[in-house]
């Protein structure tokens, strides 16, 4: 297998799209359409579930496409998660200065 490029079948893309759509629909019906604001505990649980789902996906990537791609997925996930947390600090600084 060429380690520089990952080949993904159409079937895999369709399955991925279906799963992501199901997650988004569940999020809309269980969170967005609620009349009450979620508590800190509920938000922490939901965030933890989504993070665990993302981390649980890494072994699948490694098993199907090889450990190098699994490692790249984890590296990309950690990088993106840290950048999203960094954005919170940027917004905090911007809003405290206004």
Rounded to 5 degrees, φ, ψ at 39 are -75, 170
73: number of Cβ within 10 Å: 20
The pTM score is 0.71
Pull the structure tokens for residue 68: 């190098």
* Residue range 11-69, pLDDT digits in tens: 999 999 999 999 899 888 887 777 788 889 988 998 899 899 999 999 999 999 999 99
pLDDT of residue 3: 57
Contact (CB, 8 A) for 56 and 63: no
* Residue range 67-77, pLDDT digits in tens: 999 999 999 99
Quick check: 5 pLDDT over 80? no
Say how far apart CA 3 and CA 68 lie, in whole Å.
Answer: 8
> Where residue 7 falls among pLDDT bands split at 50, 70, 90?
confident
pLDDT of residue 4: 66
């Amino acid at each position: 297998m060429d380690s520089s490029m990952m080949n993904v079948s159409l079937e895999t893309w369709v399955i991925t799209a279906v799963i992501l759509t199901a997650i988004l629909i569940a999020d809309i019906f269980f969170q967005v359409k609620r009349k009450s604001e979620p508590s800190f505990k509920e938000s922490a649980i939901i965030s933890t579930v989504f993070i665990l789902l993302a981390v649980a996906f890494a072994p699948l990537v490694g098993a199907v496409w090889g450990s190098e791609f699994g490692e790249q997925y984890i590296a990309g996930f950690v990088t993106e998660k840290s950048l999203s947390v960094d954005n919170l600090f940027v917004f905090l600084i911007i809003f405290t200065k206004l």
